[in-house]
């Protein structure tokens, strides 16, 4: 694939992701937790380890989104950035785990082979607080 084609595809995906986020009713999101000082290592990694790493681990992360470390999360995956630090309501990760928007993007998928259940509103709220506090 040449540079022009690669650039065009990347740009189109970025525009599509922004359009998707703009069309979603974010009023349906669980509220961000009021907990302060939320960090990936202490608060978020245990949630991801229990619910996400089976598919988004280091070896063959689905969608090339690696949730095993902060660098991988901030890098994003093949659909672009998963997290917008400071803007949880604009973060694709939050919209997908809250099951808001396109059903094909819900994480974990409602009927997944591993039987992983949707995150609780409290877990989603904690992830929102982490992102709103800068995703550190």
Alpha-carbon distance of 62 to 99, in angstroms, equals 18
For 24-48, write each residue's pLDDT tens digit.
Answer: 899 999 999 999 999 999 999 999 9
pLDDT in tens, 54-85: 999 999 999 999 999 999 999 999 999 999 99
Residue 131 vs residues 23, 71, 82, 95: alpha-carbon distances, Å: 20, 14, 11, 12
d(CA 108, CA 130): 19
Listed in sequence order, the residues at least 6 apart from 44 whose beta carbon sits closer than 8 Å to its beta carbon are 38, 126, 127, 130
Taking the CA atoms of the chain, what radius of gyration do you get in angstroms? 15
Q: How far apart are CA 127 and CA 5, in angstroms?
A: 35
């Amino acid at each position: 694939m040449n540079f022009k084609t690669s650039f065009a595809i990347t740009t189109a995906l970025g525009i599509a992701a922004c359009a998707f986020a703009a069309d979603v009713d974010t009023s349906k999101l669980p509220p961000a937790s009021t907990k302060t000082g939320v960090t990936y290592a202490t608060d978020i990694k245990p949630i991801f380890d229990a619910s996400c790493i089976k598919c988004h681990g280091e070896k063959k992360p689905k969608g090339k989104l690696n949730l095993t470390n902060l660098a991988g999360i901030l890098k994003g995956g093949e659909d672009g950035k998963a997290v917008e630090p400071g803007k949880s309501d604009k973060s694709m990760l939050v919209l997908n785990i809250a099951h808001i928007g396109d059903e094909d993007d819900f994480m974990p998928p409602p009927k997944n082979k591993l039987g992983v259940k949707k995150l609780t509103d409290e877990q989603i709220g904690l992830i929102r607080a982490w992102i709103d506090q800068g995703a550190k």
